[in-house]
Structure 1
């Protein structure tokens, strides 16, 4: 199963009052394992970054000046995500911005039913608790020390770890890698090797003799 963990950074809160996407970060999971494939772009929003947005993201107008507009990266984004479910924290926010940008390109919006909202999952699992991405990292012991500023790709990487905890916890040794040839690691077709030394018997000699004697009393027509 392929899933895309996704995060966006924006100039503000509402695309219909002039705010735009400035960064998209996506991480590919296959069978709940990161493959190493990702999609990451900075986007020229066509407007100045508000002071409060710069304080959150650390992205300046000068940095974004030579970056492509969404219209030039939208097709590549859609190609990467394909038809896979989109794992997003507070999905309504990111989907609102992505669909606004796609509609301005005269492309079909992404159905909201494709979104797997980790904020909704966390609220159902931990009602009344803090369920921000940072709070969930603290709850699960996930290192987010590099998250001094909001960044789409870093947040997507952290969210991938949080998502795996929310759906039941990471399982080391189970489907350790689905890299499809990217880098090294154990593939999804991994199987355990035979033990070099057989395990010792778990019954005593007296128990073995008693069992053999019992079998002798059962007769030839016994069913096993």
Structure 2
């Protein structure tokens, strides 16, 4: 594994915050794409498709993150219904009086429903903020994100590798320093040897006569 030793290590708080933000963004994007795919009708989609990293993260986190708990309550459905009701206001409904004719379902096949007599629409049940918060909290507690645990393990392995590389670089620098000191000592010793040889060469030499045995006998006879 190739890693650079000049990078600044991040704290666990920064890593945890980044993982939490990423997982929250993936949850919101996955839910939006799921609701957009569940709609019927023609027209282009206003929701951007998921990227490869987001799809991989959703596959690791599981279907419960984007599809919800089986049998649970969709906390965002009430907002969508309220928005649709506010955009299109229905016409005023006139309740049926006892004197009017019964509805078409209860009357004879040939009879028709009188104008101005409409049935009231069914009530729309919206979730309260307290129930919405409780559902979100329960969903996050039941289905924890395993992607964050895997990323933390990868960061730990990366930190171990970076420490090993730093230790090797420190040992290499120490060996280079010792080699440089040894070369300096050798150079100093060579300078001292050169100075000693130069001093011996410049010293004046004393000539001593060498007498052979025959010359020594002649000198003694003359004396």
Question: Into which bin does the TM-score normalised by the smaller protein fall?
Answer: under 0.3
Structure with higher strand content: 1
Structure with max Cα Rg: 2
TM-score normalised by the chain length of structure 2: 0.20
Structure with higher helix content: 2
TM-score normalised by the chain length of structure 1: 0.20
